[in-house]
């Protein structure tokens, strides 16, 4: 039961960031941003992908990708390094803007998983062979403004160095791009493409395991 409570706290924190409200301090919440940023060494890095909606009848679902760590200074001991949807990109003030140098190879990433929605709006994910990975539903009721209904998958990555995030808009397709890699070894941990229309997808390193 305690393990299932972690994603609920996380989604509440991310939702507060997107609501632009609450009493959280600026360093706890991702701010509107794009570009490249260097984040502190995570205690327990997590990559989350899914969909959410506001808790009101007929509220549309929106795909998201989030990068966070346990053992942080934010609400519930979580620091949300980044949260991205097709419409917006936010990076935590704990992460410092840097200039991106060079590229990281995607060779160690798993094959892409494509976002899908059930009739009820819960997320599930499909690979190129049609294999399905179901999302886990979360019902967030902490605050009427911040509360969201969400469904997603979480991957745990064992990282012993700082991480670099990069986000930029998808100009032609409409949407947002997110990449996550380690600082020193430049190991690519994840890529996410969140489109306003068409298929959204993500890829995760084989070294990261579903949580």
Distance in angstroms (rounded) separating the CA atoms of residues 8 and 195:
25
Q: What pLDDT score does 132 carry? A: 94
> What is the signed CA dihedral for 26, 31, 37, 42, rounded to 10 degrees?
60
Output the pTM of the full model.
0.81
Q: What is the pLDDT of residue 31?
A: 61
pLDDT value of position 60: 80
Contacts of 19 (CB under 8 A, 6+ apart): 145, 146
Tell me 129's DSSP state: T
> Is the Cα torsion angle 140, 146, 149, 167 positive or negative in sign?
negative
pLDDT for 58 equals 75
- Where the chain has pLDDT below 50, the residues are 1-9, 12, 15-29, 140-146
By the 8 A CB rule, do 36 and 178 touch? Answer: no
């Amino acid at each position: 039961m305690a393990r299932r409570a972690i994603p609920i706290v996380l989604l509440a924190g991310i939702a507060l960031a997107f609501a632009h409200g609450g009493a959280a301090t600026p360093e706890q919440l991702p701010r509107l941003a794009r570009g490249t940023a260097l984040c502190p060494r995570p205690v327990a890095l997590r990559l989350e992908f899914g969909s959410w909606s506001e808790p009101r009848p007929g509220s549309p679902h929106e795909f998201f990708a989030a990068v966070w760590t346990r053992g942080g200074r934010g609400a519930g001991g979580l620091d949300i390094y980044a949260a991205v949807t097709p419409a917006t990109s936010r990076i935590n003030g704990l992460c410092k803007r840097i200039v991106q140098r060079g590229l990281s190879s995607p060779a160690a990433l798993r094959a892409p998983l494509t976002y899908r929605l059930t009739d009820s709006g819960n997320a599930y994910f499909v690979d190129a062979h049609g294999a399905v990975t179901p999302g886990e539903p979360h019902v967030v009721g902490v605050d009427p403004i911040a509360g969201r209904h969400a469904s997603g998958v979480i991957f745990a990555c064992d990282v012993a160095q700082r991480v670099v995030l990069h986000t930029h808009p998808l100009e032609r397709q409409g949407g947002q791009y997110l990449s996550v890699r380690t600082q020193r070894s430049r190991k690519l941990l994840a890529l996410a493409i969140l489109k306003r229309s068409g298929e959204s997808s993500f890829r995760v390193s084989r070294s990261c395991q579903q949580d």
